[in-house]
Amino acid sequence: MKMSKINLLLDKDEINDHLNNFFYSCINEICGCEGPTYQQFIKIGWNEDEYNDIHTLICNLFTNPTLLYLDKTKLPQEFLEFPENIQAQMFDCLKEKQEYLINALMKKNSQKSIQTLIDFDWRLKVVLGSSKVASLKVPLLQLDLKVMENEIENNVDLELNKHELDHLIKTLESAI
């Protein structure tokens, strides 16, 4: 859809009140919360194709890192093509949600390049003996890590003795 048509759809006086909600909903979707639906904004008067085009454009625009500088000299061309009143509304939404957007985009970007811990589970075991030694009584920690890399979830299973667990804890504490 051409930008001029989108501007006509956005620059109606009767939808001005709904645009802030629409912009905030798009930002929420980017941040991993529930996003806007066509049914929520059906009263604006857009058909479903127009809604989908505008939703895609706004979400793509809000995920543009240069927009998060909130510096008028660094704004992307798509942003500058909107009417000034729409730009002002977007700018206000971005100012308020800037920190959330930055965190969401950093998290999304980091998950593409490095393994990211999503969840973990642990169990404590005691090895009482083996075929060679009658009584060991060695405590072991079984640590199951769920990690995401390149949008693929993997499980990493570790079995640590006391010395290895102490080393892991010291390493994690030093990373903070």
Q: What percent of the chain has pLDDT over 70?
A: 85
In this prediction, residue 143 carries a pLDDT of 92
Average the pLDDT over each of 26-40, 57-71, 93-107 and give the range with the smallest value: 57-71
In this prediction, residue 68 carries a pLDDT of 75
- pLDDT tens digits along 2-33: 565 565 566 666 676 778 888 889 999 988 88
The answer on pLDDT for 111 being more than 80 is no
Q: What is the DSSP letter of 135?
A: -
The answer on pLDDT for 67 being more than 60 is yes
In this prediction, residue 1 carries a pLDDT of 53
In the numeric block, which tokens belong to residue 14? 């009767």
On whether the CB atoms of residues 140 and 127 are closer than 8 A, the answer is yes
> Looking at residues 73-78, what average pLDDT do you find?
77
The answer on pLDDT for 159 being more than 80 is yes
> Looking at residues 43-62, what average pLDDT do you find?
85
Model confidence band, residue 121 (pLDDT cutoffs 50, 70, 90): very high
Model confidence band, residue 123 (pLDDT cutoffs 50, 70, 90): very high
Q: What percent of the chain has pLDDT over 90?
A: 12
In this prediction, residue 2 carries a pLDDT of 58
In this prediction, residue 109 carries a pLDDT of 75
* Average pLDDT of the residues of the chain: 81
Structural domain boundaries in the chain: 3-113, 116-175
In this prediction, residue 122 carries a pLDDT of 93
Distance CA 113, CA 129 (A): 42
Burial of 83-119, coded b for 16+ CB within 10 Å and e otherwise, reads eeebeebbbebbeebeeebeebbeeeeebeeeeeeee
